[in-house]
Amino acid sequence: MLRPQHTAHRTFISAAPRWTFRPDPDDVGVGQGWANGFTSDLTVAVPGSWNEQLAEAGLMHHVGPSWYRQVIFVPPTFGSAAFGGSARRVLLRIGAASHHTTAWINGERVGTHQGGFLPFAFDVTDHVTPGTSACVVLRVDPRLDAETIPQGIRAEEYAESVERGAGSEHFPPTRYDFFPYGGIHRPVTLLSVPSLRATHADVRTRLHGPSGAVVEITVEVTEGVTAVKALLSGEDEDSHATEALAVDGRAQLTVELDEARLWSPESPFLYSLTIHALDGEGVTDAYDLRVGIREVTVERDRLLLNGQPIFLQGFGKHEDVPVLGKAFAMPFAVKDMGLLRWIGANSFRTAHYPYADAWLDLADEHGILVIDEVPAVSLNLHKATATTQARHEEALRALIRRDRNHPSVIMWALGNEPGLAGEEDARTEVGRRYWKPLFETARKLDPTRPLTVPSCAQATLDDAALAFCDVISLNRYYGWYTEPGQLDRAADRLRADLEDAYERYGCPIFVSEFGADTMEGLHATFPQLFTEEYQADLIERYLDVIEALDFTCGAHVWNFADFLAPQNFRRVVLNRKGVFNRTRDPKQAAFRLRERWNDAMATPRDIIEKHAPGRGASPTPSPES
Ligand code: BDP
């Protein structure tokens, strides 16, 4: 799906930010006809989670169906007359809503969608009239179960575990360690697009010869489009034009560059690509994209970008900010990018779900490398069914389709921590059968990026997902959940674990999570959990171990910033493993990392060389290369 854009052939409006809101805890809204409109004293901001916004109305822990209503004036400029009479369509697009959404316009149902973290759109042309108002009603239901991605805990299951006195320590109940926000989390827009248009574009780049590159563009088009033109231009460089006929709804175009300017963290150069759809009489649609040319490969124990080894230094993140909850908030995204640069990080992981695409735009521009994650967090394979697996595949396809054009995305994480509660199925043939087809699908859809699944200590190195990974990602908490206050023992266990992992799998090892909860302002002269010194020391001890091992390709501290967790005795309101607090003030660890990572603007390899002499050098070429 192409994003909202203003071009000579496309336009859009954003819905007003304040919506009428009504929670529906007893799920009576459909039966009572709320789709035709409803009244309520409550309003809520969109994008925004309802939880913190409406905490005083008793909705902090509301994880149930909720209704939104907004009257949107459809501009007369959305009509065909404004675009020279050619036929047009109107689309209602929702950037993301957690997790199941049904939409009505003027009481007529226009569509439904499953999945909380990716955009979706409904063609509402037949339900609106340009120049008049439309009443948009959305029912958003955040409830999850064993067959959704991510999996969740149904209210009845929770009630049973409360009864049994086991497994009920989280409230609201989740299978994961972040707050189960509900709401419309990314912008709602109404788009006016030509009937004869491009509907999707896939751009693949590969390096060719000593300094050239090939850019392959596949454009999906609506019926009636006969050809597609593409124009690729770089700064101060010639433009490259190409054209191809559309056959069976798609056109394949290729641009060959003799001298390609590559995208990299040091020089994140982006070409502009303009796509034109044609119908035999002229141009019917125009759409702009940006293209970064770069290549990611795995060679023995190295992760390579444009043929050079890279070492990932950065964080697992969350989309979580005060009041807005899980909503995308540009000021925080801009601030976070600034902090990533300030601290000297070169990468982050979109733990534990796809983020708003604006994050990836920023990463493309700043040269930040991204591990992009499917929202299959803490999978319980014992409870997974064929439906869970099919939805997992759907989520994987949708993520790759949305994000593959971003050069910043260097690796797909197909999930996170299967078998978190120690379920045996994660380590047996059940796990193997679950993961195999998912990896096959991902490789078929995108053979140009390595695949991984961050794995937890509870699943052990027998985690069935690991056997399919190109990079082994390990989340490890020695010195925190085990060996508390004992950093020497923690470092020894970590080293032994990483060595075992490499011996067993023989591919690059990435420590995708490690960290310690930290209350800013707590200090001690000895290793004491929760103090700022302990967090900073633990992080440095981990980095010393990881950087000194030849086969590692990076380390991501958990977490960039503190984030809200469900209520449970392990958390003082927030998961406090952030090196920044929730409002982005630095803890001591942030300054230590900054010192280590910036180091006169050295590259990550130079930093390794400093802390582990001899380790930063490029790999010796393998005999066959
Ligand atoms: C890991 C999870 C992450 C948690 C983290 C923690 O991947 O979501 O927040 O541990 O416990 O198991 O802080």
What is the tens place of the pLDDT at every residue in 490-510?
999 999 999 999 999 999 999
Report the nearest-CA residue for atom 8 of ligand 1: 177
Mean pLDDT of 17-44: 97
Between the CA of 292 and the centroid of ligand 1 the distance, in Å, is 32
**3-class state of residue 232 by DSSP:** strand
Report the nearest-CA residue for atom 1 of ligand 1: 475
Ligand 1 neighbours, Cβ below 6 Å, are: 176-177, 352, 416-417, 456, 475, 513, 558, 575, 577
> Which of 52, 220, 373, 417 is labelled catalytic?
417
Predicted pLDDT at 155? 86
513 catalytically annotated: yes
What is the tens place of the pLDDT at every residue in 392-407?
999 999 999 999 999 9
Report the nearest-CA residue for atom 3 of ligand 1: 177
Q: Please state, as a whole number, how many other Cβ atoms lie within 10 Å of the Cβ of residue 573.
A: 11
- For residue 352, the ligand 1 atom closest to its alpha carbon is 8
Q: Of the given ranges (76-90, 98-112, 221-235, 468-482), which has the lowest mean pLDDT?
A: 76-90
337 pLDDT more than 90 = yes
Mean pLDDT of 372-399: 97
- For residue 456, the ligand 1 atom closest to its alpha carbon is 12
216 catalytically annotated: no
Between the CA of 342 and the centroid of ligand 1 the distance, in Å, is 25
What is the tens place of the pLDDT at every residue in 5-25?
999 999 999 999 999 999 999
615 pLDDT more than 80 = no
Question: Residues of the chain with pLDDT > 90: what percent?
Answer: 89
Between the CA of 277 and the centroid of ligand 1 the distance, in Å, is 46
101 pLDDT more than 60 = yes
Question: At residue 250, what is the residue type?
Answer: R
Q: Could you tell me the CATH superfamily of domain 297-611?
A: Glycosidases (3.20.20.80)
620 pLDDT more than 50 = no
Mean pLDDT of 368-382: 97
Predicted pLDDT at 625? 34
585 pLDDT more than 50 = yes
Ligand 1 pocket: which of 318, 569, 575, 579 to mutate (most atoms within 8 A of CB) = 575
Mean pLDDT of 570-590: 97
Mean pLDDT of 528-540: 98
Q: Give the residue among 252, 257, 251, 141 at the shortest CA–CA distance from 206.
A: 257
Predicted pLDDT at 527? 98
- For residue 517, the ligand 1 atom closest to its alpha carbon is 13
Question: From CA 578, how far away is CA 584, in angstroms rounded?
Answer: 9
43 pLDDT more than 50 = yes
Predicted pLDDT at 623? 40
DSSP codes joined into one string, 261-315: PPB-SSSB--EEEEEEEE-SSSEEEEEEEEE----EEEETTEEEETTEE--EEEE
Report the nearest-CA residue for atom 9 of ligand 1: 177
Residue in this structure with the two tokens 């509402």, named with its chain if needed: 124
Between the CA of 492 and the centroid of ligand 1 the distance, in Å, is 21
42 pLDDT more than 50 = yes
Residue ranges, CATH 3.20.20.80, the chain = 297-611
Between the CA of 517 and the centroid of ligand 1 the distance, in Å, is 11
- For residue 565, the ligand 1 atom closest to its alpha carbon is 9
Q: Residue 235: which pLDDT band, with cuts at 50, 70 and 90? A: confident
What is the tens place of the pLDDT at every residue in 451-487?
999 999 999 999 999 999 999 999 999 999 999 999 9
What is the tens place of the pLDDT at every residue in 419-436?
998 899 999 999 999 999
Mean pLDDT of 151-177: 86
Report the nearest-CA residue for atom 11 of ligand 1: 177
Predicted pLDDT at 601? 53
Q: Give the residue among 138, 134, 116 at the shortest CA–CA distance from 126.
A: 134
Residue ranges, CATH 2.60.40.10, the chain = 198-294
Mean pLDDT taken over the chain: 95
Tokens (6 digits) for 599: 């180091």
- For residue 570, the ligand 1 atom closest to its alpha carbon is 11
Predicted pLDDT at 157? 86
Looking at 142-211, which runs of residues are DSSP E strands?
183-194, 198-208
Mean pLDDT of 516-537: 98
Between the CA of 310 and the centroid of ligand 1 the distance, in Å, is 25
Sequence-distant (6+) residues with CB within 8 A of 607 are 311, 313, 547, 596, 597, 599, 616
Between the CA of 114 and the centroid of ligand 1 the distance, in Å, is 25
**11-144+180-193, what's its fold?**
Jelly Rolls (2.60.120)
575 pLDDT more than 50 = yes
568 pLDDT more than 60 = yes
SS3 assignment for 323-370: CCECCCCHHHHHHHHHHHHHHCCCEEECCCCCCCHHHHHHHHHHCCEE
Q: Residue 608: which pLDDT band, with cuts at 50, 70 and 90? A: confident
Q: Under a CB-based contact definition with an 8 Å cutoff, are residues 578 and 556 in contact?
A: no
- For residue 420, the ligand 1 atom closest to its alpha carbon is 12
Which helix or strand (DSSP H or E) is residue 536 part of?
helix 532-548
Residue ranges, CATH 2.60.120.260, the chain = 11-144+180-193
Ligand 1 pocket: which of 151, 177, 350, 571 to mutate (most atoms within 8 A of CB) = 177
Ligand 1 pocket: which of 317, 529, 558 to mutate (most atoms within 8 A of CB) = 558
Residue 139 gets the label, from left (phi > 0), alpha (psi -120 to 50) or beta, of: beta
Q: Residue 449: which pLDDT band, with cuts at 50, 70 and 90? A: very high
Question: At residue 342, what is the residue type?
Answer: W
Question: From CA 303, how far away is CA 296, in angstroms rounded?
Answer: 7
CATH among 3.40.50.1000, 3.30.2130.30, 2.60.40.10, 3.40.50.720 for 198-294: 2.60.40.10
- For residue 577, the ligand 1 atom closest to its alpha carbon is 13
Looking at residue 7, what DSSP letter applies?
B
Between the CA of 515 and the centroid of ligand 1 the distance, in Å, is 9
Question: At residue 578, what is the residue type?
Answer: G
Q: Residue 624: which pLDDT band, with cuts at 50, 70 and 90? A: very low
> Which of 52, 373, 513, 547 is labelled catalytic?
513
